């Protein structure tokens, strides 16, 4: 395990059980802390621990049926960290549990909760300084969540580098050795959480990062209906990219305009979807066009440093692209940029900060290709 710029890089190799044990042993304290943080947040919005664990128990079978290797790796994490499998399940199905629990709680409390924030971009070679595909984002979420950089080296799939939370098997933001990159944003739509027991997004993210083609990465994200909404931006080193706006039973497809693709936390295509996130956090309506403008001004000269500078932007602070906690909000409702990432897909390079990029330097992590 190596430590760079606040993010710890952990190599996970061998079979799924071995990878899980390595993960669990390395981050036992962090996994336990993440579980407690989420249980506190769920409880703040009216979902008590019994409700959360009842849902997690049902997700054990859902995940096992959807992806046996993923489930085995979860079992390894639980054994390595010496925690209950249900605790690990809470983390790995936390989006689905969150939406469903919040949906139930909202009926009783009229509380609304925003899932992961984030502002993301993809830039095609035509507008970058050196003719390479650049993608990146700020991952905005609960302060102090423990994260790490997963250096996955499976026996039967491509190597990948992905940021994830301690205890979660599926990486969120990263790239693989075939030049495929992945970014994500939280979305909210009518019907989220109504039918929660679908293949979780984190399982789908792992499957996408094991793909050897762009269309192969798209497949697990759209092949089955989902429990809730999310946005995933996928790109390839050769410059092709697509944004997938995913609702439970509907998916929208967005493509670059003038060499640029940007997204935040609202549905851009609202023809078939009742987009809800912007009612909870109106900043999304400002962050996406702001990032597009900042990057468009650099068209033809955009490089990694320019992208990083755009992700440090404070227009609308604290609810800016570089997000900071709003001290007027109750603690469980605060959000900040936990990790900022910029990737050069051709060079298989990932630059990342731990914490807001205005306060933390980007450090370079290079993907080791299979020999």
Average pLDDT of the residues in 306-318: 98
Q: Are residues 72 and 156 in the same domain?
A: no
Average pLDDT, stretch 256-280? 95
Q: Does 88 share its domain with 142?
A: no
Tokens encoding 245: 């706006």
Say whether both 66 and 168 belong to one domain.
no
- Which range among 43-47, 109-113, 341-345 has the greatest average pLDDT? 341-345
Query: What band does 5 get if pLDDT is binned at 50, 70 and 90?
Result: very low
103 pLDDT exceeds 80?
Answer: no
Q: Given the DSSP bridges, would you call strands 260-263 and 241-246 parallel, antiparallel or unpaired?
A: unpaired
Helices (H), the chain: 16-26, 28-44, 49-66, 68-81, 85-92, 94-109, 201-209, 214-222, 277-280, 284-296, 304-311
> Given 109, 133, 165, which residue is the final one in a domain?
109
Residue 166 domain-assigned (yes or no): yes
CB 267 within 8 A of CB 305: no
The pLDDT, as a whole number, for residue 290 is 98
Domain-located, residue 4: no
In this predicted model, what pLDDT tens digit does every residue of 187-239 receive, in sequence order? 999 889 889 999 999 999 999 999 999 999 999 999 999 999 999 999 999 99
Q: How confident is the model at residue 369, as a pLDDT?
A: 84
38 found inside a domain: yes
B/e letters for 292-310, b = 16+ CB within 10 Å, e = fewer, are bebbbebeeebbbebbbeb
Q: Which of the two residues, 21 and 46, has the higher pLDDT score?
A: 21
Residues 177 and 305 grouped into a single domain: yes
The reply to whether 182 falls in a domain is yes
CATH number, residue 98: 1.10.10.2120
Query: What is the average per-residue pLDDT within 284-311?
Result: 98
- How does the average pLDDT of the chain come out, rounded? 93
Q: Are residues 179 and 80 part of one domain?
A: no
CATH number, domain of 207, equals 3.60.60.10
Q: Residue 49 in contact with residue 104, Cβ under 8 Å? A: no
Judge whether 126 lies within some domain.
Answer: yes
pLDDT at 117: 78
Q: How confident is the model at residue 106 (pLDDT cuts 50, 70, 90)?
A: very low
pLDDT at 78: 98
pLDDT in the model for residue 2? 41
Residues 341 and 265 in one domain: yes
| Among candidate residues 44, 77, 109, the one where a domain is terminated | 109
Domain that holds residue 240: 119-366
Together in a domain, 58 and 128: no
The per-residue pLDDT for 3 is 38
In the listed set 109, 142, 162, which residue is the last one of a domain according to the structure? Answer: 109
The reported pTM is: 0.95
Query: 59 and 153 in one domain?
Result: no
pLDDT top residue among 125 and 45: 125
In a domain, 5, yes or no: no
pLDDT score recorded for residue 221: 98
Q: Give the whole-number percent of the chain exceeding pLDDT 90.
A: 85
């Amino acid at each position: 395990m190596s430590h760079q710029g606040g993010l710890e890089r952990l190599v996970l190799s061998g079979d799924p059980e071995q990878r899980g044990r390595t993960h669990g042993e390395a981050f036992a304290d962090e996994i336990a802390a993440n579980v407690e943080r989420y249980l506190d947040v769920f409880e703040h919005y009216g979902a008590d621990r019994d409700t959360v664990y009842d849902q997690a128990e049902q997700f054990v079978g859902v995940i096992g049926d959807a992806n046996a290797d993923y489930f085995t790796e979860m079992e390894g994490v639980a054994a390595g960290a010496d925690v209950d499998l249900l605790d690990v399940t809470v983390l790995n199905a936390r989006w689905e549990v969150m939406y469903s629990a919040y949906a139930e709680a909202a009926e009783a409390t009229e509380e609304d909760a925003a899932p992961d924030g984030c502002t993301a971009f993809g830039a095609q070679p035509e507008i970058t300084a050196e003719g390479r595909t650049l993608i990146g984002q700020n991952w905005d979420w609960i302060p102090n969540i423990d994260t790490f950089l997963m250096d996955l080296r499976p026996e039967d799939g491509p190597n990948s580098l992905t940021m994830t939370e301690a205890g979660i098997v599926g990486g969120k933001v990263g790239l693989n050795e075939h030049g495929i990159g992945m970014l994500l944003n939280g979305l909210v739509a009518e019907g989220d959480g109504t039918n929660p027991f679908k293949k979780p997004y984190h399982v789908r993210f792992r499957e996408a990062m094991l793909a050897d083609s762009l269309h192969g990465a798209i497949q697990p994200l759209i092949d089955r209906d989902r429990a809730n909404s999310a946005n995933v931006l996928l790109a390839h080193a050769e410059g092709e990219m697509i944004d997938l706006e995913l609702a439970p039973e509907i998916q929208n497809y967005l493509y670059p305009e003038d060499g640029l693709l940007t997204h935040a936390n609202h549905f851009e295509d609202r023809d078939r979807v009742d987009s809800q996130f912007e009612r909870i956090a109106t900043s999304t309506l400002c962050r996406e066009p702001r990032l597009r403008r900042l990057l468009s001004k650099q068209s033809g000269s955009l490089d990694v440093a320019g992208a990083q500078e755009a992700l440090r932007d404070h227009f609308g602070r604290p609810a800016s692209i570089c997000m900071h906690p709003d001290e007027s909000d109750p603690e469980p409702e605060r959000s900040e940029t936990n990790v900022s990432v910029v990737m050069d897909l051709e060079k298989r390079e990932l630059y990342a900060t731990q914490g807001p990029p205005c306060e933390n330097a980007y450090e370079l992590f290079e993907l080791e290709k299979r020999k």
